């Protein structure tokens, strides 16, 4: 038996860090983007983006523009919002986000996407058991990444950064995108399991009253995941298989 509550009929998976190792690509793209931007604004003595501290605290799992706002606020930088049509050369929240997105797309195209094989085996097992599956990610590149990873066929629904913007959903850590995923799979939150690795986001499972929130510990922080709302913590989804 798969180690999930008996009432679970659907599984909602974050992508970066849960299904694919694109988190490392996103982290690198954020660092390059922010370091270059801060040098432009504050000179060579600008405090650089710290991969260990700043990535998890300010940008991991959040919609792109929220990550820009939150990190730059930590460096006492405030930018005009701009608009979604801003180009990467513009010093706006949307412009800096566009710089990062252009870079992460280039890195994905150049390097491809690494997949967590334990996650694939787990998804195959839950689908064989008759459960529905959805990917729920803040990334606007979700479709591109899943296609590159050869995983598109594993999901009955997708809620991503494009969906969030189009439907006006609140981004993570609000539970709205996970709730929308459950709705698309025609189940209530009490019949759905959430799988998330980001500290700032795992609390969305608790906020949405889902049947169970599984914290996927890729960074050696099991206690912190539990403190933020994970009911169960595993280092790989294969641990939930018989």
Q: What is the pLDDT of residue 65?
A: 95
CA distance 178 to 172: 9
For residue 127, what pLDDT is reported?
A: 98
Range of the domain at 73: 24-111
User: What percentage of the chain has pLDDT greater than the value 70?
Assistant: 100
Residue 128 shares a structural domain with residue 188: yes
The residues that are catalytic are 14, 16
- Give the residue from 111, 126, 157 where a domain finishes: 111
- Total residues found in the chain within this entry: 242
Q: How many domains does the chain have?
A: 2
Share of the chain above pLDDT 90, in %: 83
Q: What is the CATH number of the domain that holds 130?
A: 3.40.50.1000
- Predicted TM-score of the model (pTM): 0.80
CA 57 to chain centre: 13
Q: Are residues 62 and 118 in the same domain?
A: no
Does the pLDDT of residue 227 top 90, yes or no? yes
pLDDT score of 23: 76
Give the pLDDT confidence of 173-213 residue by residue, as tens digits.
Answer: 899 999 999 999 999 999 999 999 988 789 999 899 999 99
Q: How far apart are CA 33 and CA 232, in angstroms?
A: 34
Task: Indicate the pLDDT class of residue 219, thresholds 50, 70 and 90.
Answer: confident
Do 57 and 71 belong together in one domain?
yes
Cα separation of 63 and 237, whole Å? 24
* Pair 143, 105: CB distance under 8 Å: no
């Amino acid at each position: 038996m798969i180690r999930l509550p008996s009432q679970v009929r659907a599984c909602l998976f974050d992508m970066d860090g849960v299904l694919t190792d694109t988190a490392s690509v996103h982290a690198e793209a954020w660092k390059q983007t922010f370091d270059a931007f801060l040098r432009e604004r504050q000179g060579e003595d600008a405090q650089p983006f710290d991969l260990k501290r700043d990535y998890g605290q300010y940008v991991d799992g959040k919609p792109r523009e929220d990550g820009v706002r939150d990190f730059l606020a930590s460096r006492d930088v405030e930018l005009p919002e701009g608009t979604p049509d801003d180009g990467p050369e513009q010093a706006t929240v949307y412009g800096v986000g566009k710089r990062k997105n252009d870079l992460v797309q280039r890195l994905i195209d150049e390097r491809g996407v690494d997949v967590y094989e334990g996650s694939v085996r787990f998804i195959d097992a839950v689908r064989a058991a008759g459960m529905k599956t959805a990917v729920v990610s803040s990334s606007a590149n979700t479709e591109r990444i899943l296609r590159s990873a050869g995983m598109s066929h594993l999901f009955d629904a997708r809620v991503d950064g494009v969906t969030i913007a189009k439907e006006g959903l609140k981004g993570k850590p609000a539970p709205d995108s996970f709730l929308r995923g459950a709705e698309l799979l025609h189940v209530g939150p009490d019949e759905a399991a959430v799988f998330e690795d980001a500290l700032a986001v795992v609390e969305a499972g608790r906020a949405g009253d889902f049947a169970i929130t599984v914290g996927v510990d890729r960074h050696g922080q099991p206690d912190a995941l539990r403190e933020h709302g994970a009911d169960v913590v595993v280092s790989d989804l294969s641990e939930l298989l018989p």
